[in-house]
Amino acid sequence: MPAPTRFLLIVLGVAACAGRSPGELAPRDIATVFFISKSDDHNRVDYGMRLDQDCVPLPGAVFPYWHEFEPKERTHALGAFEQRAYGIDMQRLVSRRQDGAEYVIKLKQLDRPITISTFKERDGRCVAVAHTKIDNVGTAEFSEAFAQLGGFLSVDYVEVRGRDPHTGARVAERIKP
């Protein structure tokens, strides 16, 4: 099965279960670094990040969780099935600075690594920016992915979206399953 198809088996629904959510984050943590939405509703999977006092990612820092907007707004951890579609295959610290770090993750069903740069603002607030290859931009700022669903358990395409950090222009790349 092609990676985008496996990536989008998310259409099977939401398993309600307790777990990590933005409500459990420390003030320096990031609730949403990027997210994945789909065409059948407004709910999405957000990827949060836990950071230490220097804005350096903690072990296993990035975690996905459901951010539901319908029928009411709430968040909860992914179920076992959703972990297969949205889960993280690998994550590790690449380098550390006094005021942040470079961290890399690979999602189970997306064909490219995502590098997350963390740093501390002058006011002490932590910031995280995700980068990945989008279209012809090798280090685009990655903000979201969108899945256009077809019929039952099928995906027409996945669109990876972001911004070219050099020009500020929006960039997008459609991946067909």
Band the pLDDT of 14: cuts 50, 70, 90. very low
Mean pLDDT confidence for 101-130 = 94
| pLDDT tens digits for range 124-144 | 999 999 999 999 999 999 999
What residues make up the domain containing 118? 3-175
How many structural domains are present in the chain? 1
Query: 41 and 72 in contact (C-beta within 8 Å)?
Result: no
Bond into 4 cis (ω within 30): no
Evaluate if residue 2 carries a pLDDT over 90. no
The structure's pTM equals 0.83
Least confident of 23-27, 47-51, 97-101, 143-147: 23-27
Q: Would you state the pLDDT for residue 22?
A: 57
The Cα 117–Cα 101 span in angstroms is: 6
Mean pLDDT confidence for 40-66 = 93
Query: 161 and 171 in contact (C-beta within 8 Å)?
Result: yes
